[in-house]
């Protein structure tokens, strides 16, 4: 999980979100509206709407809320990892926003899932050079 992720307000220009993603080297950006967590946008979403061939409004005129999907997967920090992984796979989504006491505290992405699963497999298989594996 990436703790304390950056976020963007839904009323910000879409280009601000794109710039934040580039600046902070992230591919998922939580979205808040009136201080409440409401969505997440991804670099894939941005690349899609930035395609001038689609005939969408000029990207300079679009706001984050124009791109938001308001069906975000939000989990509590105490939610078991297995439940998060199964739900992400079933819903075919790339991230879960993680909250603690109702406040955003992290984001868990498919990359994080691969890392966690890979580390688990390494422990089970006994990583070469691991003193516990001998």
Lookup: tokens for 132: 């516990």
- Rounded CA separation 81/68 (Å): 26
Would you say residue 87 has pLDDT above 90?
yes
Note the pLDDT tens digit of each residue in 15-67: 999 999 999 999 899 999 998 888 999 888 888 877 666 666 666 778 999 88
**2-124 has which CATH code?**
3.10.580.10
- What's the whole-model pTM score? 0.76
Over the chain, what is the mean pLDDT?
A: 86
Edge-to-edge strand ranges of the sheet holding 74-76: 2-3, 103-109, 95-100, 74-76
pLDDT band at 129 (very low <50, low <70, confident <90, very high): low
Would you say residue 85 has pLDDT above 90?
yes
């Amino acid at each position: 999980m990436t703790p304390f992720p950056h976020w963007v307000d839904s009323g910000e220009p879409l280009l601000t979100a794109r710039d934040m993603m580039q600046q902070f080297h992230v591919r998922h950006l939580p979205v808040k509206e009136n201080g409440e967590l409401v969505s997440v946008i991804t670099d894939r979403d941005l690349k899609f709407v930035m395609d001038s061939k689609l005939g969408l409004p000029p990207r300079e005129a679009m706001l984050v809320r124009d791109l938001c999907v308001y069906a975000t997967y939000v989990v509590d920090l105490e939610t078991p990892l297995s439940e998060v992984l199964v739900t992400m796979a079933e819903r075919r989504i790339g991230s879960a926003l993680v909250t603690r006491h109702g406040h955003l505290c992290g984001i868990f992405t498919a990359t994080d899932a691969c890392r966690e699963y890979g580390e688990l497999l390494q422990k089970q298989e006994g990583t070469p050079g691991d003193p516990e594996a001998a």
